[in-house]
Amino acid sequence: MIYVVGSSFNSLAAANAFVNKELDVTILDVGKKSTFQNKQIIKDLLKRNDIYKVIKFINGITRKNTKNYPKVKMNKTNFGSHFYREKLTNDVVEQQLETETSLSYALGGFSNIWGAACLPILKEEMKNWPINYEDLSKHFDEVSKLLNINGENDDLNNFFNFKNYQAYEHGLSSQSKGLLEQLNLKREDLKKSGIYFGRSKLAINNSNNGYKGCVECGLCFHGCPHDLIFNTIDLFNDFIKNKKINYIPNIKVKSFDELNNEVTIYAENLEINKMVEFKGKYLFLGSGSISTMKILMDTLKIKKNITLASKDQYVAPIYLKFKSELDYKQNYNTLSEIFIEVNDNEICENNVHIQIYPFSDIVLSFLPFFKKFFSKYFNFIFRRLMIAQILIPSKFSPLINVTLSEKNSLILKSQKNKTSSKIIKNVIKKINQKKSLGFRILNNLMIKLSIGGSQHLGSSFKMNRDPKIFETDIYGRPFGFKNVHVIDATVLPNLPTATIVFASMSNSLRIAKKVIKKILDNQN
């Protein structure tokens, strides 16, 4: 029996590998579900093509949910539901000091609210890893196919060694069309200065995997009403329906033990409020960076402080140097439309990743004063405004110190890193001095998310070829264990600068396939 904990990206990668080999796998998951009581209302409004009534309705039901996130209002709200980050009564995090992290007990985890952006890890980012780049990259195609990543041939493909993708079935906003035209005019010059760009690679369901495709309703960041943003729930439901896995919800794993090649899992059954045990041959932990870290700390009886890596994230409006044909009443996909990579060793030894978003009602939530004070020129102004999201490598971002309270829950406290602010300053300087880019970053209007606010977290029990008690081996096995494997970002030596899902899923798949080979070899 193989047990997999969690139902988000990394658990799916492992579970899918086991299913493909017809191995007996059980998913243990808290698995909270949303009723999506507002979804049908929104679908009915969309049938009438009344996008403004939809947005008004969403704003009405979500306003109360943003009070805990006053600095940034870019949280996807799934039609007013925050079920994906609802806490349990005995949650693992007791206190956060200058941090803003979340964990999810939802079925599908953070696949319910992510922005669909996907890129592999760069080879240069793995130079200090205990595994080779080829160990990971040989799984890229499979992960790309699993996520149904939409892409096209551009310079980013060669830069990231990215080959397997499906053609886009949705268009670009007039803003992004114009910006890409500007960038392509100076493409070779930009490459020489270490700036690479291309259309965003997105995990979006389309006709390739049986969906109708994007209708460009513009509600992406509120939660796609057509379920087109990739969500692990779809595949897990298919596995359950076809009896390919055994799925047990309402289970919160606390710790584990291993004796005579048998793993015992200690968990709380939330439905009956009792402790239960599960016994099996293998355990794969993919419950998310914070939850997995707590399970490991309790199992290994770690009282000493440990650190959790994060990535700084900045959000700023950008001003287009050309007039776009944007009509703010037109509908379009509002996910990231353009990726830009700044690869300049004088600024940072790793690349800095930028995602460009078109105008949407999300822009207004950032910049309401523009509408208030410049309403006369509203359409003109917003034809020239887009949003840039800038991510700083984890090596140069603040760490989060993790300690245990007297109640045995986690206390998270930020550990500042001034390097991040230097990097963002120099990135903006480089971009704003590059006239051929076709835009400027309005850095005076830039905001920085709270530490951990990007939800790109991990590297608390890093992989090592000779692991110590605070580490795992190259197959994610904690110190002293043979058949327990950690498969989420907890074990990554550092976090990929661009996006985290692709690299973490590739590593999960690598570990799962190693165990599968072992199982099949023993059967033969």
On whether residue 276 sits in a domain, the answer given is no
Nearest to 423 by CA among 366, 493, 492, 353: 353
Please give the helix or strand (H or E) that residue 57 lies within, else none.
Answer: helix 51-62
**CA dist 337 to 137, 181, 329, 355, 388, Å?**
25, 13, 18, 7, 10
How many Cβ atoms are within 10 Å of 479's Cβ, its own excluded? 15
Q: Do the bridges between strand 484-486 and strand 282-285 make them parallel or antiparallel, or are there none, so unpaired?
A: parallel
Report CA 487 to chain centroid distance, whole Å. 15
pLDDT computed for residue 291 by the predictor: 95
Measured in degrees and rounded to the nearest 5, phi and psi for residue 338 equal -135, 135
pLDDT tens string 33-43: 876 666 777 77
- pLDDT by residue for the chain (524 residues), tens only, comes to 899 999 999 999 999 999 999 999 999 999 998 766 667 777 777 776 666 677 666 666 554 444 443 444 445 666 667 778 888 877 898 888 889 888 999 999 999 889 999 999 999 999 999 999 999 999 999 999 999 999 999 999 989 988 888 999 999 988 899 999 999 999 999 999 999 999 999 999 988 888 888 888 888 888 888 889 999 999 999 999 999 999 999 999 999 999 998 999 999 999 999 999 999 999 999 999 999 999 999 999 988 889 999 999 999 989 998 877 766 566 788 899 999 999 999 999 999 999 999 877 766 665 555 555 555 566 667 778 889 999 999 999 999 999 998 889 999 999 888 899 999 999 999 999 998 888 999 998 888 888 888 889 999 999 999 998 899 999 999 999 999 999 999 999 999 998 999 999 999 999 999 999 999 888 86
On whether residue 294 sits in a domain, the answer given is no
Tokens of 456: 């790109």
On whether residue 500 sits in a domain, the answer given is yes
- Residues whose CB is less than 8 angstroms from the CB of residue 181 and which lie 6 or more positions away in sequence, other chains included: none
Measured in degrees and rounded to the nearest 5, phi and psi for residue 417 equal -140, 105
pLDDT tens string 207-257: 888 888 888 888 888 888 888 999 999 999 999 999 999 999 999 999 999
pLDDT computed for residue 414 by the predictor: 92
Query: What CATH number should be reported for the domain holding residue 506?
Result: 3.50.50
> How many structural domains are present in the chain?
1
Nearest to 362 by CA among 341, 343, 382, 346: 382
On whether residue 523 sits in a domain, the answer given is no
Range of the domain at 455: 2-238+307-517
Measured in degrees and rounded to the nearest 5, phi and psi for residue 12 equal -65, -45
pLDDT tens string 275-311: 999 999 999 999 999 999 999 999 999 888 899 999 9
The CA distance from 383 to 95, in Å, is: 42
On whether residue 73 sits in a domain, the answer given is yes
On whether residue 262 sits in a domain, the answer given is no
pLDDT computed for residue 36 by the predictor: 62
On whether residue 220 sits in a domain, the answer given is yes
Q: Do the bridges between strand 385-391 and strand 352-357 make them parallel or antiparallel, or are there none, so unpaired?
A: antiparallel
Nearest to 363 by CA among 8, 72, 31: 72
How many Cβ atoms are within 10 Å of 3's Cβ, its own excluded? 25
pTM metric for this prediction: 0.92
The CA distance from 103 to 32, in Å, is: 12
On whether residue 509 sits in a domain, the answer given is yes
- Exposed, middle or buried: residue 24 (CB in 10 Å: 0-12, 13-18, 19+)? exposed
